[in-house]
């Protein structure tokens, strides 16, 4: 908001939709939200990702249809507030692995939101923070033809390679010992892009409906 400080300071200031979307409050505790997408009701529990918040999660996992795991892809060069020695994206990968391998969650699928794609794009194109300096495996990473020629083909190749590398680090975890009802569905997201989120939640709606049908052996 620094570039809008004069506007925000006015007595008659009213936040725009983008202003509201770009506000961030550190999640502490459990927040319950209900909303509808194309006549399908969602009942969501938002839980904090900080280490001291995680012990509260288990009470949310009873009878859930799916887990939405949100990872900030642009944090590949950042460290945790509570532990300056730990890389944020590596922490996300470790947390994802602990959830994926949890024996109580073996029948629950994960919808993976690879978030902050706008900030990731800015960092990669700026060239100041090189992904391979934080994840050495990136230096030898080869983009799959299906990614290079698929829905991402209009984006800058260096950005596509970076975002697909990060996605594949999560998929590498989810591909190990995968029961039939334990799937991972990755999505590239930008939380401040309302159209992107609208499309993603339509996909989530379809995924969750299929999960319900599979749960009751209707497919």
Residue 209 assigned to a binding site: no
Nearest Cα neighbor of 123 from 159, 79, 164, 155 is: 159
191 is in an annotated binding site: yes
**Environment class of residue 190 by beta-carbon count within 10 Å: exposed (0-12), middle (13-18) or buried (19+)?**
buried
Q: Is 88 annotated as a binding residue?
A: no
Q: Is 127 annotated as a binding residue?
A: no
Task: Consult the annotation and say whether 36 binds a ligand.
Answer: no
Residue 160 marked ligand-binding = no
26 known member of a binding site: yes
Overall residue count recorded for the chain in this entry:
219
Question: Does residue 193 have a known ligand-binding role?
Answer: no
9 known ligand binder: no
Residue 12 assigned ligand-binding role:
no
- State both tokens at 208: 């969750």
118 annotated as a binding-site residue: yes
DSSP character string of 19-42: HHHH------SEEEEEEEETTEEE
23 is in an annotated binding site: yes
User: What does the angle CA 41 – CA 47 – CA 52 come to, to the nearest 5 degrees?
Assistant: 170
Q: Do the annotations mark residue 47 as ligand-binding?
A: yes
Question: Is residue 47 within a helix (H) or strand (E), and if so which, with residue range?
Answer: strand 40-47
Is residue 119 annotated as involved in ligand binding? no
* 11 annotated to a ligand binding site: no
| Contacts of residue 197, Cβ cutoff 8 Å, sequence gap at least 6 | 189, 190, 191
Q: Would you list which residues are annotated within the binding site for Mg(2+)?
A: 27
Q: Would you list which residues are annotated within the binding site for GTP?
A: 21-27, 46-50, 115-118, 191
Q: Would you list which residues are annotated within the binding site?
A: 21-27, 46-50, 115-118, 191
């Amino acid at each position: 908001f620094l570039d809008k400080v004069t506007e925000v300071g006015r007595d008659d200031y009213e936040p725009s939709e983008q202003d509201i979307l770009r506000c961030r409050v550190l999640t502490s505790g459990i927040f319950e939200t209900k909303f509808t997408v194309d006549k399908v009701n969602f009942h969501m529990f938002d839980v904090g990702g900080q280490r001291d918040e995680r012990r509260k999660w288990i009470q949310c996992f009873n009878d859930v249809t799916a887990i939405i795991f949100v990872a900030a892809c642009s944090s590949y060069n950042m460290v945790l507030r509570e532990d300056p020695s730990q890389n944020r994206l590596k922490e996300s990968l470790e947390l994802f692995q602990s959830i994926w391998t949890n024996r109580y969650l073996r029948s629950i699928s994960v919808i993976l939101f690879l978030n902050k794609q706008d900030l990731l794009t800015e960092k990669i194109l700026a060239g100041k923070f090189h992904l391979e300096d934080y994840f050495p495996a990136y230096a030898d990473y080869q983009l799959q033809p299906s990614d290079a020629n698929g829905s991402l083909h209009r984006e800058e190749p260096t950005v596509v390679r970076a975002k697909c590398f990060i996605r594949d680090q999560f998929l590498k975890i989810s591909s190990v010992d995968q029961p039939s009802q334990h799937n991972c569905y990755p999505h590239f997201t930008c939380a401040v892009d309302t159209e992107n989120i609208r499309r993603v939640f339509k996909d989530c709606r379809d995924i969750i409906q299929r999960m319900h049908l599979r749960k009751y052996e209707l497919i």
